[in-house]
Amino acid sequence: MQSSKPSQATSTSSLLPTSLIPTAARSASYGNNGNSENLPPRTLARVARDVRDLVKSPPEGVRLVLDGETGMPNSLSEILAEIEGPEQTPYHAHYFQLKLVISTDFPNTPPRGYFLTKIYHPNVDPQTGAICVNTLKKDWTPTTSLSHVLTVIRCLLIVPFPESSLNDEAGKNFMESYDEYARRAKLLAGVHGLKGWSTPVDDSNEEGQENNEEKDEEDGKMPAGVVSNALGKNGSRSNIVKSGGVSKSLEKKMNKKKSLKRL
> Which of the residues are catalytic?
132
128: three-class secondary structure by DSSP: coil
> What is the distance between the alpha carbons of residues 55 and 146, in angstroms, rounded to a whole number?
11
Q: What is the DSSP letter of 69?
A: T
Distances (CA, A) of 41 to 5, 141, 178, 263: 11, 20, 47, 12
> What is the distance between the alpha carbons of residues 91 and 220, in angstroms, rounded to a whole number?
47
CB 65 within 8 A of CB 16: no
> What is the distance between the alpha carbons of residues 66 and 43, in angstroms, rounded to a whole number?
20
145: three-class secondary structure by DSSP: coil
Question: Own/partner pairs for 125-131, CB < 8 Å, 24+ apart?
Answer: 125/166, 125/167, 126/22, 126/166, 126/167, 126/170, 127/22, 127/23, 127/24, 128/22, 128/24, 128/25, 128/29, 128/30, 129/21, 129/22, 129/24, 129/25, 129/30, 129/98, 130/166, 131/98, 131/156
